[in-house]
Structure 1
């Protein structure tokens, strides 16, 4: 048998192409948790092999080279069509992580489809789809709550440069920004000023596109713990 194997590294927004999906858009691991379960579902009709691991942000690292303060089980599993499967994340050596802010890691799920029937003696292209979502380690007792974090965002302007300053202990993801002229925050407005989402670390200031260097106000859309978009003004 001869075949070509291709691994496609995709963000979660592309995961709808996979048969095996993650029933979450992100994972939060509270510091007082003994473990966290993540649910996988095989929406297909055939048995797929699934490999899972956690990385620290380097998308090109292989699982055997990665060192993170978590253990994930099972790392490899076969899932029949229509079945569900839980993977368990257990924290190890979490004392090495900051206790005054969130830390971020990435959960990887690779969906490897079965060999096509009748292709044993033929060349074929086999595509494994990789889903990668954020895993947040969240210390208990952080100042404020995650729902209040957006209130600690501000635009900092210095000459011709502008950044979004995050004075909260939480990571924040802004997916949309528009020039704001007043009205209902939830009203649909055309014209996203962002070329890509802004992922802002705790207590940091992230540069914004030149389109947001003006002196006006902006309406932003940011993601909550459930992946839903919420709105605020900067």
Structure 2
């Protein structure tokens, strides 16, 4: 899942820096971290809960994952109901995700994103020495449409992925190729060189689409790897959100 936040209606004061220095987390918690939509299923339910200590307004929509999308601009083969609603603190709510039966590829998964946009209440400031920070948080959750042809296949995604490295003057690029019809989602990618671990640069989506190649960058490692064996350790996320470890030797 991905989280974004926007800030509005701020009264600047000394207290503002203290507020901004704290981590911002979504208060909406969902029962799953992704939704698998098999071909032939018309709709699915998703339970969400408001863990904030205050009521919020929630807006929902489904899009292709562009963070600049708004509900008015989006086009997707799914619709989510209700679109706008209020949740009190500790409330739970069921969402309905409905497939509109638009044509989608039958040899690979199709990826869309459920947006859960939470808006907290805005209170009037009572003093010139206090700061008010309104944070609207958007949580994005994957919706993976899975055609029947894939459902009937038995594919070991962990062993099917192919990796190679490319060096330049400073960095190492790891090419990850996914020959299957499934999306491959990583929680981590590490190179093991001379007994030391090095993590890849973080990307917005650590995924490789079906039948495609994605590149991951390891900064300033080209000199470190000269004459050394390079091994790979990675964690692959399954349908339930669990991670499974994989290895490749001597890349």
Q: Provide, for residues 112-169 of structure 1, a one-character-per-residue CA deviation record: whole Å limited to 9, x for no partner.
A: 11233x64898843211111121111112316346x2122101145786651111111
Q: Distance in 2 between matches of 1:121 and 1:75?
A: 36
The alpha carbon displacement at 1:176 in A equals 1.7
Instruction: Find 1:172's aligned residue among 179, 184, 201.
Output: 184
**Structure-2 separation of matches of 1:41 and 1:68:** 25
After TM superposition, give the deviation of residue 44 of structure 1 in Å: 2.8
Equivalent position to 2:199, from 179, 188, 193: 193
Is 1:89–2:103 an aligned residue pair? no
Q: What count of residue pairs does the alignment treat as equivalent?
A: 213
Tell me how far apart the structure 2 counterparts of residues 59 and 217 of structure 1 sit (CA, whole Å). 34
User: 1:69-84 residue pairs with structure 2 within 5 A?
Assistant: 69-84=77-92
Q: Which runs of 5+ in 2 are unaligned?
A: 1-7, 11-22
Q: What is aligned with 1:108?
A: 115
Check conservation: 2:117, 2:136, Cα contact below 8 A: yes
Q: What CA RMSD, in Å, does the superposition of the two structures yield over aligned residues?
A: 3.0
Q: Distance in 2 between matches of 1:190 and 1:70?
A: 45
Correspondence for 1:144 among 149, 153, 174 = 153
| TM-score (normalised: structure 1) | 0.78
1:225 equivalent in alignment to 2:239: yes
Secondary structure of the structure 2 residue equivalent to 1:62: coil
CA–CA distance in 2 between the matches of 1:64 and 1:98?
Answer: 25
- Asked whether 1:36 is paired with 2:38, we answer no
Q: Is residue 132 of structure 2 the alignment partner of residue 127 of structure 1?
A: no
Q: Taking structure 2 as the reference length, what is the TM-score of the superposition?
A: 0.74
1:58 CA drift (Å) = 1.4
Measured in 1, the distance between the counterparts of 2:108 and 2:189 equals 25
Give, in whole Å, the separation in 2 of the partners of 1:49 and 1:25.
Answer: 21
Mapped partners of 1:22, 1:56: distance in 2:
20
Gaps of 5+ in 1: 6-14, 182-188
Cα deviation, residue 231, structure 1: 0.4
1:137–1:16 distance in 2 versus 1, CA, 3 Å: farther
